[in-house]
Structure 1
């Protein structure tokens, strides 16, 4: 056996191979944890037409090509971003090489992996059933990352010692995390008596471009018995698949972009052509909190650098429970005044600003301001925003063209998704294909015009439809076309940031339908939901930092004049430990209600805004269940800890908030929101020996909430 070790002071990986065995990761060391992988899995698994699995199954793993790949070479590099490794493998008989790429950002123990497959055109066996007459090969799935669960050195692997933590999403119901013991996912089958591994797996699949529409491309495997936690994610804004499964020796995990069986994806490689998988990333820590700290640091290190990241500005948006897509000058000017008086820093005009028909949904795409809605021009409204000292924002849905938009006829047919020779249409929208230069030019011209002509500094990018399998126009398959479009879209976003360095962009895909890291790494603000019931939103807001940094998490606050004072404050607390994101008719509120908004904004700017860009999220009561009566979200910063507690018609009583980093210290607790006349103080006592704050929640309080700051 031959080995080499790669990494840095935060994480190292040991690679092992032999002439008759594929390359595997045999050990990983991080944070003083030395993990061994006695169950050896190839670095990459590949299915191609004419090949299959060496054990018949429907998994991503156990492929013939994966087992046939052999070590060729490896090379390392180091730059200001971190350490990099390329491991080159080959299947000589088939005539393909695979380069597996590893990136390890500086001082962060979380690595990124992808693989590039190349048809070299030099097979050792020319009559292989996988090769066409012209020497091409058709890929049907390629994993980005594969690993056994592993175990600490000196400990035996135990597939039953883990729990899978995964998330169910839905429109208006995002962030529903739950855990399942792996022993329940994978029953004991006595497979060792057959001499074969099991054939099933727990597979989680996303189709279309709502990458978090049903599930999330991020999950965790946690073992308190072994003292290990995996966190893994697929960094892709469209089709993906991940799976965990049981083998006889240990459990395994496998991450992939689109596949043929799930996404109508196939990629033909002629001799000399290559394909690179979507990236995936993973971290291994001692516990859940360590894994969350690692991924939070990774998100900050690997995103596009923008000034707004570390000092997130306060946002007002006119849509939810307010104008709802029907903006006019008369409606907006009072809101602009109210927002400015409340300390808002960004004012975003949402959907409908371009529509003269009264039906804004199917008319999207030309992006010219309405003359009926703004008789003196939209510059009157945008000028009022800017004169009030706020950044002006506009809503766009760039990836679609309404069926009633003039752009549906003026753009070439190649600019749209097609299947079987016809345009793809979904809910009165055609879908732009950003592989096409005309589609990209149209969007570049639109954004540049709105910035240059009107002084827009903020965009809310929405995406309210999904194209299912994708487009087969100029593609090997519908899934291939979809992957190409989504990569082109990401590149287009990067181009906007290069041309407009000060631009702030929000990612809203029908609320929270696209909260993957391919998106969140390219946007400063991430919408978490379209949920309009303030009583339901805390479960979404509290769970949001599982998928994004806290400073990105735009959870709506919906205070309105009909709220009781406690409900009003409850609304404001829902956005307080994220990106402050306000809507509502400020101009119709009482003086006391407006004063509470000002109090919230000032408290945010004083206590949250300075530290949220470096704070680490935690959940003192655990991740929220959808119907939990009491929910809590915390942010741990260098000099303070912030915790919001929501009680939803709870029974009241003492709620224990573990803050172990303060163990043994004297701690001061301060209520940040709400404070003042009419709000009862929730008593807080500190147990230094236990490192726990005990908060007294009133009984029969209805929907009530407080945010606290703790300092040693």
Structure 2
């Protein structure tokens, strides 16, 4: 006879069903009043070992023998502060396995986090090949008519593609386009086909994205799911005949050279995953935005993000000197910048900064004065700005003194050799010597120089990982990934006021394991201001608006419109500026100053509580006109970019405010600029903007205040 377990935690309610001869399955889920039932279901944990494999021949993350044979043993609940947890303990008595599935909810946010712990309770070793962090069928609305089926034809999949300089490319496809109907019902066996998305190495968003959305407009239901991991991962969307299924995982043996051997009493815990539901795309985006804010590391900079200048992009390019920095610092201070960052090269005496990284001692040739780099840092402070500096903590250049000072155990290794990638060794932060080295570097830079902002970069990836002191390269890599996160947590505890930026060749690690620990997230290394708006507009899909550092790099050879176009690319995110401000004339510098002032007045006070929306839909890479909006309650901010378009009326959908009276004003640029005709159509819920027909790269940001 089946039994039901129901758990309520803030905005979340979950119901599970189990019986002596059946695995535990989820039967119902409600988040923020949106309810789903699961007539068809899948086990809540899927475990594959070398000597068990699948029930049917396939390479899915699901359909495992152990998943089918796990049985309910017990469950516990716990609440501490805002955090509630449910742990369901499963057993496979024949194999002496205990599997604990943990669900966790912050009662202030409508999202569920989950992971799975496998423990060997027997004398024989357990050889793990994969363990899911979460899996579920799609389900149907709880109020659906009897006989309603969740066929794949009802569902679209929204997924993202990233690459260096080309982050944030999202596309929507019908699941039936990805997983065609193949008549499997005639075989009485679920098909092998699934849509598998895999990321290897440590660039967790280097090619694919560990977050996706499933939406059925017919059923008014949407899922958002993500893998919260800064290393290798995989997610599947499957055709299970009667319903679709989604499964999330960290590294696996098949995809990532991962393997874990458990002896008596030993355990392995998967990387965390999280999921939410709503009626539509906008709803799940609002949910994940709330979740990101509530569970990220607390910091005074989170609510009103500081304005940043960085000397690298289209400016000094890794060749800093006292002579170059001092005029930039003076100009940045006059422009109203709050943080000034010295980027790469500051430690290099050779003229080739790339292979010399790792010791992090200031160059004496680049900063030749009596005070050395302190002269530059003091100038930043005297201009009223926080000094920031770039380091790439996880690598040691092959020409760095630290390459010989640190033991081999401090580095990634395979087959007894240090792993080398583009003239860099990679630190293995499982090793105490590696962590001590990095701690001493941070302590010195904060203690001796007063650094208040770090840009942490990461420009190489180690492939499968390290087999030193690990069952397999993927297991060594996972250990390092987790050790790196622990190291960041330690920095947060020692230096709670220091601001941390996560940069990995631009946006190559925009996973939630990283972004939950950093105040600033670089979105790209893109150097062409004409291409960047797509990346900037799409960035809130992965990070909070106030974290999203999209570069603006106006130059002295740019006119008014190109300058405004640049500034608007960073305007509805973390204001992130570069460019030779010191070479601008007074008029050009005034355009930049107007942007900084407008940001501080209109965006900075509200962005930390706003929600992103896309009034023209998510941008396409080649779109001529694109837009991004911020929902700030009774106020909406919207930026429109026109990339050499034919102009004409553009209708921005502000559906949430339909029927409300609103007053529209231009926010940036304003002074000396031609104003675009714009009006609010309350009846249709549209902001109608007339884009000029004379082409060029032009942009405007508007504000609508609703009564």
Match of 2:284 in 1: 291
Match of 1:240 in 2: 233
Deviation at 1:107, TM superposition (A): 2.9
What CA distance in whole angstroms lies between the structure 2 residues aligned with 1:31 and 1:445? 46
What CA distance in whole angstroms lies between the structure 2 residues aligned with 1:571 and 1:115? 45
The superposition leaves residues 548-572 of structure 1 with CA deviations (integer Å, 9 ceiling, x where unpaired) of: 0000000000101111210110000
Match of 1:141 in 2: 130
Match of 1:25 in 2: 26
What CA distance in whole angstroms lies between the structure 2 residues aligned with 1:564 and 1:526? 29
What CA distance in whole angstroms lies between the structure 1 residues aligned with 2:679 and 2:633? 22
Of residues 336, 343, 356, the one that matches 1:350 is 343
What CA distance in whole angstroms lies between the structure 1 residues aligned with 2:668 and 2:97? 61
Q: Which runs of 4+ in 1 moved over 2 A?
A: 30-34, 153-156
Deviation at 1:39, TM superposition (A): 1.1
Deviation at 1:665, TM superposition (A): 1.9
Alignment of 1:363-512 (within 5 A): 363-376=356-369, 377-512=372-507
Match of 2:40 in 1: 39
What CA distance in whole angstroms lies between the structure 1 residues aligned with 2:445 and 2:222? 46
Match of 2:93 in 1: 92
The CA RMSD over aligned residues, in Å, is: 0.8
Alignment of 1:643-662 (within 5 A): 643-662=638-657
Deviation at 1:9, TM superposition (A): 4.2
Match of 2:106 in 1: 105
What is the DSSP-based 3-state SS (H/G/I as helix, E as strand, rest coil) of the residue aligned with 2:539?
helix
Of residues 563, 576, 586, the one that matches 1:581 is 576
Of residues 194, 198, 217, the one that matches 2:187 is 194
Query: Is 1:669 matched with 2:664?
Result: yes
Deviation at 1:6, TM superposition (A): 0.7
Deviation at 1:34, TM superposition (A): 2.2
The superposition leaves residues 120-145 of structure 1 with CA deviations (integer Å, 9 ceiling, x where unpaired) of: 11xxxxxxxxxxxx611110100000
In the alignment, structure 1 segments of 5+ residues that lack a partner are 122-133
TM-score (norm. length: structure 2): 0.98
Match of 1:230 in 2: 223
Q: Which moved more, 1:147-156 or 1:191-200?
A: 147-156
Deviation at 1:701, TM superposition (A): 2.7
What is the DSSP-based 3-state SS (H/G/I as helix, E as strand, rest coil) of the residue aligned with 1:613?
helix
Contact 1:7 1:104 (8 Å CA) reproduced: no
Match of 2:204 in 1: 211
What is the DSSP-based 3-state SS (H/G/I as helix, E as strand, rest coil) of the residue aligned with 2:608?
coil
What CA distance in whole angstroms lies between the structure 1 residues aligned with 2:34 and 2:452? 46
What is the DSSP-based 3-state SS (H/G/I as helix, E as strand, rest coil) of the residue aligned with 2:301?
helix
Alignment of 1:499-538 (within 5 A): 499-538=494-533
Contact 2:649 2:689 (8 Å CA) reproduced: yes
Contact 2:84 2:107 (8 Å CA) reproduced: yes
Of residues 538, 541, 545, the one that matches 1:543 is 538
Contact 1:149 1:159 (8 Å CA) reproduced: no
What CA distance in whole angstroms lies between the structure 2 residues aligned with 1:660 and 1:682? 22
What is the DSSP-based 3-state SS (H/G/I as helix, E as strand, rest coil) of the residue aligned with 2:94?
coil
Contact 1:115 1:144 (8 Å CA) reproduced: yes
Contact 2:411 2:426 (8 Å CA) reproduced: yes
What CA distance in whole angstroms lies between the structure 2 residues aligned with 1:160 and 1:105? 34
Deviation at 1:49, TM superposition (A): 1.1
What CA distance in whole angstroms lies between the structure 2 residues aligned with 1:54 and 1:595? 68
Match of 1:119 in 2: 120
Deviation at 1:688, TM superposition (A): 1.2
What CA distance in whole angstroms lies between the structure 2 residues aligned with 1:447 and 1:33? 46
Contact 2:228 2:512 (8 Å CA) reproduced: yes
Contact 1:539 1:626 (8 Å CA) reproduced: yes
Match of 1:125 in 2: none
Q: Which moved more, 1:439-448 or 1:681-690?
A: 681-690
Of residues 601, 616, 619, the one that matches 1:606 is 601
The superposition leaves residues 30-57 of structure 1 with CA deviations (integer Å, 9 ceiling, x where unpaired) of: 2332211111100011111111100100
Deviation at 1:186, TM superposition (A): 1.1
Query: Is 1:276 matched with 2:269?
Result: yes
In the alignment, structure 2 segments of 5+ residues that lack a partner are none
Deviation at 1:29, TM superposition (A): 1.6
The superposition leaves residues 448-494 of structure 1 with CA deviations (integer Å, 9 ceiling, x where unpaired) of: 00000000000000000000000000000000000000000000000
Q: Which moved more, 1:651-660 or 1:62-71?
A: 651-660
Deviation at 1:189, TM superposition (A): 1.1
Match of 2:628 in 1: 633
